[in-house]
Amino acid sequence: MTTTRLDTRFAETRAEGRAALVTFVMAGDPDHTTSLAIVKSLPGAGADVIELGMPFTDPMADGPAIQAAGLRALKSGETLTKTLHLVATFREEDQTTPVVLMGYYNPIYIYGVDRFLTDAKKAGVDGLIIVDLPPEEDDELCLPAMKAGINFIRLATPTTDDKRLPTVLRNTSGFVYYVSITGITGSATPDFSVVGQAVTRIKARTDLPVAVGFGVKTAEHARALAANADGVVVGSALIDAIRKSLDAEGKATEQTVSAVVALVSELASGVRGARVAAE
């Protein structure tokens, strides 16, 4: 593969001596227009990489917060076609911030793999995280995505032992996403010392950046993980900020976008302060 936006962005943050802040929000939550405004606001607030959830009716790896966000998005009429349009609209103003789509294979399969990859590349998608496609199924989407110039990012978990790790890493590109806890998103706070050891173990096997996610809720969490990882992923905390800003009917308010911006700014300060504190 040629150099991608993800490669460039992680090289930039590495040169700055810090981890990247990777922010996850659900496409279409709480509605398409507000979701686009949120995504557009993320880079200015300090996000280095944007993960955009693809709403799905059976999100088995997601905790209650992200499940609810997906349901809000589906209720508002979000589709995979609209999500790709959201990325394309974002790209009209931002040509440098990497955008990664995260979700499940079923919507892509129904859309059609070849058509999806063509449309995703045209829209400006840089990477995919598909949580229910193991390495044994790389022919389904991973290899075609890489051929299309889209990074395929694999998850490693606390149960990924040294025997399994090479298989996980084999066709991974962009970065490795280390899931810091066993379980669903947003379910617990990680043990930072244990995560640091795991990141070191993965880095010994690959030159790819390693980003850590699941359970990151505060700037202090982000700062602790950024001391060892190349990236820190925050999702459920941002989804919670959106939820708390909604009115009694679950609709966006004037505070919705600003609530996300405020939290991302705090998290960015945590990530950016980690390496300074370590020096």
Residues annotated as catalytic are: 51, 62
Q: Hey, how many other C-beta atoms are within 10 angstroms of the C-beta on 94?
A: 15
Instruction: State residue 254 phi and psi, 5-degree precision.
Output: -65, -20
CA distance 125 to 120: 5
- Output DSSP code: residue 19: P
Per-residue CA distances from 26 to 7, 31, 239, 278 (Å): 23, 10, 8, 33
CA distance 108 to 120: 11
Closest CA to 238 of 2, 10, 21: 21
Closest CA to 25 of 5, 11, 6, 45: 45
Closest CA to 245 of 72, 103, 79, 83: 72
**Long-range contacts from 249-254, C-beta under 8 angstroms, 24+ separation:** 250/30, 250/72, 251/30, 251/31, 252/30, 252/31, 252/34
